[in-house]
Amino acid sequence: MQLHYLLIGKSNRPRIPYRLALTSCLVWCLGVSAQVPLRYSHTATPLSMGTPHLAETNYPVSLRQIGGSRWVTPMLTIKTNVTELATTTLNVGVEQFIGNRLSVSIPVSYNPWTFNDNKKIKHLAIQPEFRVWFGETFAGSFINVQSFIGLQLHYLYYNVGGIKLPFGMFPDPASTVSDFAFSVGQLNRQMYVSPFRFHNNGEDPNWTVGNASGTFGAAIAKLQPTVTANYLAVHNYNVDGALDLTNSATSVHYVPENTLDDDGSTARHDDVTFVSVRATFLPDQFEDAEPGGWDGTFHAVFTGDDTDGADALGARYFHTLANAQTYVGNTYFQGLLTTGGHTYTGNADDYIDTYSQGHCYYRIYINPTAGYSIDRNTVYRVNINGVNYIGTKDKDDLPGEAGTPMDPGAPVPTLPGFPVVATQAISQMPQAYPNIESEITVENWVTPAAADYELY
């Protein structure tokens, strides 16, 4: 649907009143166009409601008397789309009437501007169109409903970003998370061979809350950090079929027990074994162009400002570190620091998180209803249901601790309950900000037949 608004100034030719014409086409569009005739039909003879009396002229004439107004059909018009002008887009078009109920229109629009915080709707568009009108072109009352069939060609070169449309129209495309893999973090390095024989409840040396942190022996950590080489692809049932729990090479990890004298209320982050999920994160938009040979590594600056349609963290993503450093030094980011009462450290890298090869990490705690204990002879199945936002940049980072996306630091304000610290009880973690959603179930342990093994 296209709205045309004819604006005609003073002339010694018959006056054409202002008029609004509403036209519909097969492809829906909306705009308000101001049109001025450059070449049009002419008569100097008063007319009646009957057949027009034509004066001698070199121009074709189509003139009729309606409601006391006299209309002259323009043969060539120049026009502009007022709604595009309202969006700072320069545009002009020419429409030529080439015969009875036929016209050719060629509009061109151009927007070269970049606004604050990299908002832009830059584009160059050329849209030639051939129109066949069902009624006489541009004839009728002050408000005129007309229809045509048009064949329109489009050429569009654009660079658009940072624009949020009303009513939730055309929301920003979501960032993508793919290539899920998992390993195990904080593996227990000590255990009793026969816990039920020598100790109550089957506990291990880490049974007491807080006992798993620190080292033993020659400064060896009691819990082993996540091993990068141990990441296995997350099993996709729809693609890979049923999971074979007997094959440790296919989405199965075997871990030693790590039990805890706790009902889940006091277990600490640094006490328990967890599932470490690695994924490849691809932002929906970058603030700079992709360089040749890019390996997926990107740099994130968290601003906390999502007013331009960025994600809730107000993250800005860059392909190169140099561009991220330039962004931190610009007036917009420095203004955010000042507004938040923060003093710039003088080092741009303090505000930049680098994600090597696009990898980010999430943490899933197992068995929360039983003190987060990992019991021997038990199968835990973890289903990943969704990811809410970008993970941490390092595999052993604790989500929510200072410097991670949930508490990135200035200029992002600190949310209630943050930052999280490793010696804090897991139960104190704010539940309103989960970065990954999962479901944990316990599978039945199948005991092999006695004939399948021997004891020595």
Q: What pTM was computed for the model?
A: 0.61
**pLDDT reported for residue 349:** 96
**pLDDT reported for residue 206:** 74
Q: Using only C-alpha atoms, what is the Rg of the chain?
A: 35
Listed residue (171, 268, 187) closest to 222, CA to CA: 187
Q: Which two tokens stand for residue 313?
A: 């963290």
- Percent of all residues in the chain with a pLDDT value above 90, rounded to a whole number: 27
**pLDDT reported for residue 260:** 81
User: For residues 446, 448, 449 and 452, what is the CA-based torsion angle, rounded to 10 degrees?
Assistant: 170
> Is 37:9 a contact under the CB 8 Å cutoff?
no
Burial class of residue 333, CB neighbours in 10 A (0-12, 13-18, 19+): buried
| Chain region(s) in the chain for CATH 2.60.40.3690 | 167-446
> Is 157:117 a contact under the CB 8 Å cutoff?
no
> Is 24:147 a contact under the CB 8 Å cutoff?
yes
| Helix/strand/coil for 151 | strand
Residues lower than pLDDT 50 in the chain: 1-31, 40-71, 140-144, 197-198
**pLDDT reported for residue 440:** 85
**pLDDT reported for residue 275:** 94
**pLDDT reported for residue 73:** 55
Opening angle at CA 23, ends 19 and 29, nearest 5: 120
Dist. CA 111–CA 121, nearest whole Å: 7
Dist. CA 91–CA 53, nearest whole Å: 38
**pLDDT reported for residue 92:** 93
Dist. CA 303–CA 51, nearest whole Å: 71
Domain 167-446 has CATH 2.60.40.3690: yes
What CA–CA distances, in Å, run from 132 to 1, 23, 40, 177, 435?
15, 12, 19, 48, 55
